[in-house]
Structure 1
Amino acid sequence: MKDQPTYILGISLQKKTQWRKCCIEKYEILPTSTEQYSTMSREIIHTIDYFGNEFMQQHFGKNLIHFGPNGSGTGFVLILNGQYDDKAIANTMQKFYAFLDTVDGSDIDTAGFDLPGAQWIIMYYVTMLSQVLRRHSAST
């Protein structure tokens, strides 16, 4: 097992750990380029964290160990039980955007949330992911 992270536009496998019969994988998910944008606002982070946890729990079920913001405010950490690849995580993020896009802001208490900002960040991220995945598929 390599400790070297792999990258697909802001998705990096940071660590793979074997523990008993489990394979624990930690992914760093960076929706924005830190060169182009500063850290996300607290409200955007809170919104993505809130809806991301709901979505990831439905998607990964008992294999979800943790989904939450990283310490620098530039992205999120996804920790899973099981073996996945960058493309599977990228496809999950595309499905998360589709889920987040269906959220009706009138259904939530907007205090502390920035749904339009979170939707824009994830839409931008998924658009960039789609372009990278198309280029990658064309080259293989």
Structure 2
Amino acid sequence: MNKIESFKIDHTKLKRGIYVSRRDQIGAENVTTFDLRVKEPNNEAALDSAAAHTLEHIGATFLRNHSEYGDKIIYFGPMGCLTGFYLLLNGKYDSKDVVSLIRELFKFAADFEGDVPGASAVECGNYTLMDLSLAKTEAAKYYAEVLDGIGLDNLNYPE
């Protein structure tokens, strides 16, 4: 089997940031997959699964209701390794194009109050796997330490 593209990235050099993971063309449409790397792989603890699940619910709801990008959102969810999230957008984008959107998203999550969207037995298959407090902490940390002063090293995969 051929190695998939994401396994070709040297994760020992990968910093937290916003990266274009891949671009695909499906018919006449372009899809951009972003790697929202919240944790430095293999150097810091992965996201807690309950925090990641909570951020997925808050993030997906925020993004699909966004006034500018809502109709372009295809998917938002955690990576299997729990070091970040994938965001798929309809269109051809670079990392710098979505910095403001990702800042809005993680600021919203860090400041979120109230019931987590979709956190009921009727709406979610594992609704008890939620930790709003930890999700807010992780969102605030990513915002303050990465997104607030993001630079080129955090927008382009390492060579």
TM-score computed with the length of structure 2 as normaliser: 0.70
Q: Percent identity?
A: 24
Whether 1:83 aligns to 2:101 is no
Deviations 1:85-108 (A, max 9, x none): 212322112101232234214x34
**How many residue pairs get matched?**
132
Whether 1:73 aligns to 2:94 is no
Change (3 A) 1:8 1:85: farther
Alpha-carbon shift at residue 130 of structure 1 (Å)? 1.9
Which residue in the other structure is 2:123 paired with? none
Whether 1:130 aligns to 2:148 is yes
Q: Report the more deviating stretch, 39-48 or 13-22.
A: 13-22
Which residue in the other structure is 2:107 paired with? 98
2:57 to 50, 68, 72: 50
Between Structure 1 and Structure 2, the one with more helix by share is: 1
Distance 2:108 2:72 in 1: 19
- In structure 2, stretches of 5+ residues that fail to align are 120-126, 155-159
Whether 1:28 aligns to 2:45 is no
Change (3 A) 1:80 1:72: same
Whether 1:115 aligns to 2:136 is no
RMSD: 2.8
TM-score computed with the length of structure 1 as normaliser: 0.79
Q: Is the 8 A contact 1:8 1:132 kept in 2?
A: no
- In structure 1, stretches of 5+ residues that fail to align are none
Distance 1:39 1:134 in 2: 23
Alpha-carbon shift at residue 12 of structure 1 (Å)? 1.4
